[in-house]
């Protein structure tokens, strides 16, 4: 077990800069998740950590030892691959023992460790099968098993759940967390799924185009996103963004949202600035509140225990915010996520409200959060 220090790592493929100045300190036993949209350089960073790719510059230390130019096999790390990379010609037992065999561990020791790992993961009955005869979930466990028998200083996992179906993914997510608690080995986990990141991580590193956007624990990430990208990426559905200009209304600065003057708890110096106001869908509630407005929903989606209400945004509040890939949200609607709403929608009208204290403020030009 060991901490990992990544210092100013960069990586370019020819002209293409994939990682720009990546620095991170991972504590011993920590579970760190790299998250970001596809193509942002997560896998590349993981491969550099594993020694499968060479960093263009920067240095890496694992457990205090400089491993920047060490072969993958000498770094004492284990990796779990997205497609598991189990060898089809070997049985599960041999697959799991492969790493130890390559290191010349004696066979009784290999056997003992493989059996132990198989017990932990509940794959003892599969040990003599070939990977081909396993289900997706079982292969996933075997791949984890192959990593844990090595008893390495750190685990690196590259989207290990993305080949599983939704239900199994939720289940295995919890199992990996439990396994981490049990073994306490430093783990770096890569995913593009913010829910995985939020549920599993001690700390999240959120990346975009090879640049770290924010490093924080899941709670902070949700409550205090550093910029518009993080705010839009974390949470489902993502945060609503509204454009406004701060006005000075006597003592307090304020913004105009949905035709209401909304006072802000912010410094007077903001007056006159263009801002993007962020409001999480779950912070809009049904019924009257500090800021109340009545709307005609464009669309209501019911998920049983909750409802998603799509609301038109007045044109003065429409914000052009580039969101992360895949999450194509219209700029002219916001979403309200109502948990068990009692409020009936009468004549197509519904009363919604929000608390101005819940608003996030971002600079419209730099996209950074305003405290």
Partner 1 sequence: MKPRFSLDLARPSRRHWLGYLLLAPAVLLIGLIIIYPLIVSVDISFQNVNIARLDQPRRPFTTANYERLFASGDFWNASWVTLKLIVIVSLFCFVIGLATALLVNNKFKGRTFARLLVALPWAMPEVIAVVIFAWMFDSSFGLMNWVFIKLGFIDTTINWFSSPAAAFAVVCITMIWKGYPFVSIMMLAGLQSIPEDFYNAARVDGANAWQRLVNITIPSLMPVLGVTLVLVMLWVFRDFSIIYVMTGGGPLKATQSLSIMTYEQAFGFFKMGYASAIGVVTLIICVIASRLMIGRAPDNI
Q: Which residues of this protein are in contact with ligand ADP, per CB under 6 A? A: 13, 16, 18, 36, 38-44
The Cα 78–Cα 50 span in angstroms is: 8
Q: Which two tokens stand for residue 292?
A: 């109340």
Q: Are the beta carbons of 294 and 351 closer than 8 angstroms?
A: yes
> Which is it for strands 360-363 and 284-286: parallel, antiparallel or unpaired?
unpaired
Binding mask 122-141 for partner 1 (x = CB under 8 A): --------x-x---------
In terms of phi and psi (left: phi > 0; alpha: psi -120 to 50; beta: otherwise), the region of 78 is: beta
DSSP per position, 104-154? T--HHHHHHHHHHHHHHHT-GGGTTS-GGGS-HHHHHHHHHHHHHHT--SE
Minimum CB distance to Mg ion, residue 82 (Å): 7
Q: Which two tokens stand for residue 224?
A: 């205090």
Under the binding rule (CB under 8 A), the answer on residue 150 touching partner 1 is: yes
Under the binding rule (CB under 5 A), the answer on residue 43 touching Mg ion is: yes
Minimum CB distance to ligand ADP, residue 31 (Å): 19
Q: Are the beta carbons of 179 and 117 closer than 8 angstroms?
A: no
Residue 240 binds: one of ligand ADP, Mg ion, partner 1, none (C-beta under 5 to 8 A by kind): none
Nearer to partner 1, 78 or 319 (CB): 78
Upstream peptide bond of 264 is cis (omega within 30 degrees of 0) = no
Residue 271 binds: one of Mg ion, partner 1, ligand ADP, none (C-beta under 5 to 8 A by kind): none
Sheet containing 31-35: give its strands across.
77-80, 154-158, 186-191, 31-35, 203-208, 211-216
Residue 1 binds: one of Mg ion, partner 1, ligand ADP, none (C-beta under 5 to 8 A by kind): none
In terms of phi and psi (left: phi > 0; alpha: psi -120 to 50; beta: otherwise), the region of 116 is: alpha
Residue 248 binds: one of partner 1, ligand ADP, Mg ion, none (C-beta under 5 to 8 A by kind): none
Nearer to partner 1, 1 or 102 (CB): 102
Q: Are the beta carbons of 222 and 231 closer than 8 angstroms?
A: no
Minimum CB distance to ligand ADP, residue 38 (Å): 4
The Cα 23–Cα 257 span in angstroms is: 39
Minimum CB distance to partner 1, residue 147 (Å): 9
Nearer to partner 1, 18 or 364 (CB): 18
Minimum CB distance to partner 1, residue 149 (Å): 10
Residue 168 binds: one of partner 1, ligand ADP, Mg ion, none (C-beta under 5 to 8 A by kind): none
Task: Give the number of residues in contact with partner 1, rule: CB under 8 A.
Answer: 27
Residue 272 binds: one of Mg ion, partner 1, ligand ADP, none (C-beta under 5 to 8 A by kind): none
Residues 6 or more apart whose Cβ sits within 8 Å of residue 135: none
Question: Taking CB under 8 A as the criterion, which residues in 11-70 touch partner 1?
Answer: 47, 50-52
Binding mask 72-91 for partner 1 (x = CB under 8 A): xxx--xxx-xxx-x-xxxx-
User: CA 326 from chain center: how many Å?
Assistant: 15
Q: Where do contacts with Mg ion occur on this chain (CB under 5 A)?
A: 43
Q: Where do contacts with partner 1 occur on this chain (CB under 8 A)?
A: 47, 50-52, 71-74, 77-79, 81-83, 85, 87-90, 98-99, 102-103, 130, 132, 146, 150
């Amino acid at each position: 077990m060991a901490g990992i220090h990544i210092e100013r790592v960069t990586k370019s493929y020819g002209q293409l800069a994939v990682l720009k100045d990546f620095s991170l300190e991972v504590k011993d036993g920590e579970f760190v998740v790299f998250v970001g949209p596809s193509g942002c350089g997560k896998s590349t960073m993981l491969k550099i950590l594993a020694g499968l790719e060479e960093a263009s510059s920067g240095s890496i230390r694992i457990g205090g030892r400089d491993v920047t130019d060490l072969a993958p096999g000498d770094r004492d790390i284990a990796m779990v691959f997205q497609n598991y990379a189990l060898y089809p010609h070997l049985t599960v037992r041999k697959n799991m023992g492969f790493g130890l065999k390559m290191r010349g561990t004696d066979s009784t020791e290999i056997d003992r460790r493989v059996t132990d790992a198989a017990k932990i993961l509940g794959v003892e009955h599969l040990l003599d099968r070939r990977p081909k005869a396993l289900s997706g979930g079982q292969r996933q466990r075997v791949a984890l098993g192959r990593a844990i028998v090595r008893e390495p200083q750190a685990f690196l996992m590259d989207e290990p759940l993305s080949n599983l179906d939704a239900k199994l993914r939720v289940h295995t997510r919890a199992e990996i967390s439990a396994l981490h608690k049990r073994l306490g080995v430093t783990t770096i986990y890569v995913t593009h799924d913010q829910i995985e990141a939020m549920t599993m991580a001690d700390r999240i590193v959120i990346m975009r185009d090879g640049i770290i956007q924010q490093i924080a624990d899941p709670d902070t990430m949700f409550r205090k996103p550093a910029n518009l990208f993080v705010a839009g990426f974390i949470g489902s559905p993502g945060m609503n963004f509204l454009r406004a200009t701060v006005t000075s209304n006597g003592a307090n600065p304020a913004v105009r949202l949905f035709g209401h003057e909304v006072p802000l708890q912010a410094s007077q110096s903001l007056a006159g600035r263009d801002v993007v106001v962020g409001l999480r869908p779950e912070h809009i509630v049904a019924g009257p509140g500090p800021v109340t407005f009545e709307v005609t929903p464009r669309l209501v989606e019911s998920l049983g225990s909750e409802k998603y209400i799509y609301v038109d945004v007045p044109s003065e509040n429409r914000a052009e915010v580039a969101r992360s890939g895949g999450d194509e949200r219209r700029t002219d609607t916001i979403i309200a996520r109502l948990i068990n709403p009692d409020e009936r929608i009468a004549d197509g009208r519904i009363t919604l409200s929000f608390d101005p204290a819940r608003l996030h403020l971002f600079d419209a030009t730099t996209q950074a959060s305003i405290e």
